[in-house]
Amino acid sequence: MALYLVTGAAGFIGSSLCRTLLAQGERVRGLDNFATGKPENIAAFRSQIDFREASLLDEAALKDACAGVDYILHQAAIPSVPKSVLDPVTSHRANIEGTLNVLMAAREAKVKRVVYAASSSAYGETPVLPKREDMAASPISPYAVQKLCGEQYMTSFYRVYGLETVSLRYFNVFGPYQDPTSMYSGVLAKFCTAMLRGETPTIYGDGEQSRDFTFIDNTVSANLLAATAPAAHVAGRMFNCATGQRYTLNQTVEILRGITGYTGKVNYEPARKGDIKDSLADISAAEKAMGYKVLVGFEEGLKRTVEWYKSAVVVAQKA
């Protein structure tokens, strides 16, 4: 059994990784300061992992957490474009300084590999679709800049220090355990819960913006493949983590109407600063290098997500 350190373990993606690793019989150490993660996300398995409540900015705690670790799945961040626009300094500290601290601690502990949660926002508003890893980055928001900087640090630590790193550019991850009440949450979580409650969902813009929505099981699979794939295929590289399909927000609303039975209206608000118009990934590099494949498609993922929200407290209790 390998020992995995999951940073951001109490978050949406981090907790999903922990559950899968435990199910596969791996040893898990989790790190989170609950700035955006939630204790309830790990409540069911907290006793089964070595959990540390600490910030990435606490270098001593991070050093201790990395001791004896084989693989780090670095998910911890302030994962929000709007938040980075409102408060770029705080998100800079978490997303850039925190990531550098992870790399320093990993290098000292002689960790085998660090897998980094990068972001498709690094591509920016380039008109060419699909997005390929060899395209020039053109980040718009402070968040996109921060996540791109993290990628560069990953590559640098591989080239300079020989620390194996892999960056995964996430494309709009969604699924169970994503908190719709958080300002950091994705649009699908908000759509699902609003419709289930009979409330009016809000779209920022005209709804014709498109996204490569990626169900959480695909993201978890990509992380585990990236951690264990042959170094010659993946070390020091960045890969798209997506499905290779895109849907507009208007299309998504119509699909969700069919799943939830919602018949009400949709509220349209002005587009938000920092948001891009369209996003679609070319996933062929990940398929070739690490055997990545889409396990769950968009519509099936939506059905599973809606079923989970139906039983979640957040739906039962209106805000």
- Whole-angstrom CA distances from 224 to 114, 278, 308 are 11, 28, 24
Q: Name, in order, each residue with C-beta under 8 angstroms of 180's C-beta and a sequence gap of 6 or more.
A: 189, 190, 192, 193, 194, 309, 314
What is the pTM (predicted TM-score) of this model?
0.94
Let me know: does 43 contact 21? Beta carbons within 8 Å: no
Confirm whether 3-173+216-241 and 174-211+245-275+295-313 share one CATH topology: no
Let me know: does 12 contact 216? Beta carbons within 8 Å: yes
List, for residues 210-240, the tens digit of each pLDDT value: 999 999 999 999 999 999 999 999 999 999 9
Rounded to whole angstroms, how far apart are CA atoms 129 and 100? 31
The β-bridge partners of 167 are 116, 238
Amino acid code (one letter) for 214 = T
Angle of helix 59-66 relative to helix 98-109, nearest 10 degrees?
40
Rounded to whole angstroms, how far apart are CA atoms 304 and 182? 20
Backbone φ and ψ of 164, nearest 5°: -70, 130
Backbone φ and ψ of 177, nearest 5°: 80, 5
List, for residues 21-70, the tens digit of each pLDDT value: 999 999 999 999 999 999 999 999 999 999 999 999 999 999 999 999 99
Class of domain 3-173+216-241: alpha beta
Rounded to whole angstroms, how far apart are CA atoms 101 and 74? 11
Banded model confidence at residue 127, pLDDT cuts 50, 70, 90: confident
CATH fold of 174-211+245-275+295-313, please?
UDP-galactose 4-epimerase; domain 1 (3.90.25)
Banded model confidence at residue 319, pLDDT cuts 50, 70, 90: very low
Amino acid code (one letter) for 297 = G
Domain ranges of the chain: 3-173+216-241, 174-211+245-275+295-313
Backbone φ and ψ of 37, nearest 5°: -75, 165
- Whole-angstrom CA distances from 182 to 42, 45, 79, 217, 226 are 17, 23, 11, 21, 29
Tell me what percent of the residues of the chain surpass a pLDDT of 70.
Answer: 97
Q: Which residues are catalytic?
A: 143
- Report pLDDT for 95: 98
**Alpha helices for the chain (secondary structure H):** 12-23, 39-42, 59-66, 81-86, 88-92, 98-109, 142-161, 187-197, 216-228, 231-234, 249-260, 284-290, 298-311, 313-316
SS3 140: coil
130: preceding bond cis by omega (within 30 degrees): yes
Residue 313 has pLDDT above 70, yes or no: no
